[in-house]
Amino acid sequence: MAITTSLSGKTAVITGSNSGIGLGIARELARAGADVVLNSFTDREEDHALARDIAKEFDVTARYIKADMSKADECRDLIAQAGACDILINNAGIQHVAAIPEFPTEKWDAIIAINLSSAFHTTAAALPLMRKAGWGRVINIASAHGLTASPYKSAYIAAKHGIVGLSKTTALETAEEPITCNAICPGYVLTPLVEAQIPDTMKEYDMGRDEVIRNVMLTRQPSKEFATVEQMGGTAVFLCSDAAAQITGTTISVDGGWTAL
């Protein structure tokens, strides 16, 4: 059988995809021919414009659906509104940094809800659609922090470790079906949000751009280079391809060697 990466005729739902990694993945899936459903918790004209631009650029169907990933019913309703979900990318996430004794309860609850529980709810809603279609891919965006840890990020690290475990369980429950589930574990990715942090970090450490990136921001990333949103998207496209049909229940690190240390 010829190996193909064409995703024509498939519908991909990507949570948290109006910017950054999620949008990068949506664009690469559309480039491969998939129809895409973008999502975030806002409902702005620019959100819908992103979908229109993708549809025009890649000649696919693209929609934007508002859904708050901190709410279980909205997670499940997102999949229902999409109508089809051959590819599910669980990407939505937030972060908060504090020591455990000072970590606000509401921040813990929000991070666990958005970064972990949302993936359970969307997966639970999507699997019946994948089974009906006879094919499916679930890709959870974890983190290098899904495989290792850092101080002051207790909720984020707990959630990302949980995402890795959820990916394994989903893979085992679908192992005899043409459905796979894997987790991508990025290191530091150059998103617009990260790019915006560079000038302030330069001022804080009194360093030039290249020095602050290499010695401060990427201190744990041996390659000393950011990953890109396009690389995240390319990895997702690979996991959706025929070549990855027997890759399930595992993690793929895109972290410049972080987890090799």
Question: Residues with catalytic annotation?
Answer: 156
| Residue 195 CB neighbours (<10 A) | 10
Asked if residue 66 lies in contact with residue 49, where contact means CB atoms within 8 angstroms, the answer is no
Pairing of strands 136-141, 251-254: unpaired
d(CA 220, CA 251): 19
What the block records as the tokens of 47 is 């959100």
| Sheet containing strand 179-186, strands side by side | 62-66, 35-40, 11-14, 87-90, 136-141, 179-186, 251-254
Distances (CA, A) of 39 to 7, 23, 58: 20, 9, 18
77, 96, 174 from 99: Cα distances, Å: 35, 10, 38
Q: How far apart are CA 22 and CA 4, in angstroms?
A: 23
How many CB atoms neighbour CB 52 within 10 A?
A: 12
CA distance 133 to 126: 11
Residue type for position 76: R
